[in-house]
Amino acid sequence: MEHKEIYSKIIAGTMTWGSWGKQLSTSEMSDLIISCLDHGITTFDHADIYGDYGNETEFGKAFAQSGVDRASIQLISKCGIQMARGRDNAVKHYQYDKAYIIWSAERTLKELQTEYLDLFLLHRPSPLMQPDEIAAAIEILVAQGKIKQFGVSNFTPSQIALLETSIPVTANQVEFSLTHNAPMLDGTFDDCLANKRMAMSWSPLGSYFREENAKTGRIKKIMQPLTEKYDVDESQLLLAFILKHPVGIYPVVGTTNKARLRASLDATKIDLELQDWFLLLEASQGQRVP
């Protein structure tokens, strides 16, 4: 099954919708959900930890208020990170025993007010994870119809290979942008492409707008003529850069600004020329390709 048949090419990241960011009200969240759908963004990315374990609850209320048909959207969530705030934990850690994975998935379903997740991810790899234990949990959740697909986030190819000794892995969501392009050089995207694994990018704009350093300075010099050439803004070019990769990356865009969400979707239409792509890469790396 092709990923394009399931998920929207731009995924709405919900991490900053709640207490970790914009603190949207239920009505504001509901309005944003509807606005996303109006512009063709149908996939929403969650994690249990967002908003100190509170975002899913708030989104669930907004989803119910919106009246949106569940079949018209796709919900992604993640589990496994146990934080030292929001829960009674002495230390931040990862937990992937069978009982916890099932409990976490069921909690997410309850909070999101849905009967199933389209995609359920392990949030970060643990040195102590046991493939058979994880597989046992996922197989139960799939058999019960509570999750449709299983994937991971922030995993290396070898960590995925370890899991796949017991269970297939459909997707990998990793940090990837023009300013953080390691996944296309360290084998992460090679693994996705070779195994037809869905590749998602969190923080797809990278540090471009957050930091002023030699790297972002070089990129900005290249950006000016390119924004004029393609008649787009810098954010759209940053997305166009990662969208050109042959693995078919799905950017997880975290803005709550409706205009910027629309602009992100328009970035999927940019046909970035080969040499312009390498000009951007060269600016990021500070040297010509070997």
CA-to-CA distance for 175 and 51, rounded, in angstroms?
20
Q: β-pairing, 81-82 with 93-94?
A: antiparallel
Would you say 250 and 119 are in contact if contact means Cβ atoms under 8 Å apart?
no
Told to judge if 50 belongs to the known catalytic residues of this protein, a careful annotator would answer yes
Nearest to 127 by CA among 76, 168, 162: 162
Task: Give 3-state DSSP helix, strand, coil % of the chain, rounded to 5.
Answer: 45, 15, 40
- Output the furthest CA–CA distance in the chain (Å, rounded): 55
Q: Cα(288)–Cα(282) distance, rounded to whole angstroms?
A: 5
Handedness of CA 83, 85, 90, 91 (dihedral sign): positive
Q: Exposed, middle or buried by CB within 10 Å (0-12, 13-18, 19+), for 153?
A: buried
Catalytic residue among 50, 96, 208, 250: 50
Active site residues: 50
